[in-house]
Amino acid sequence: MKLSSLTFLCLTAVATHASASSPDAWAAYDKAVLTSCTKASTLKNARPVGTPAQFDDRVGYTAILLQGEYPQKHMKGKQGTELCLFNKKAKTAHVAEWDSIRSGKP
């Protein structure tokens, strides 16, 4: 049986579309990123600022900005900011303090 070019292209398009992530899959992924990042955070009541930055699969990371309060008593509830990088392949989160983004200072 020989497939025509048009039939082959149609089948390829359907197969490609079927493998694309559904809105539910993206929602589950975003929830996993947020859960991992807030667990990795050193801030109290860490919450996301904006939406995650989805980097290309060649990069392999999703980034999200978190805000919360420093838990140390001497910080007296001062607000802090962290950048979380979620490794898509390893499914691990890593955070770094990034208060300078709020002040505009390097």
If you search the block for the tokens 């290309």, which residue do you land on? 56
Predicted confidence at residue 15, as pLDDT, reads 37
Alpha helices in 41-84 (DSSP H): none
Report the pLDDT value the prediction gives residue 20, as an integer from 0 to 100: 63
Q: Locate tokens 């493998």: which residue?
A: 19
Token duo for residue 11 = 């089948």
Q: How many helical (H) and strand (E) elements, i.e. helices and strands, does the chain have?
A: 3, 4
Residue 106: predicted pLDDT = 59
> What is the model's pTM?
0.75
pLDDT tier, 50 (very low <50, low <70, confident <90, very high otherwise):
very high
Confidence of residue 3 (pLDDT cuts 50, 70, 90): very low
Neighbours of 1 (CB within 10 A): 2
Averaged over 68-77, what is the pLDDT?
A: 94
Q: What is the largest CA-CA distance in the chain?
A: 76
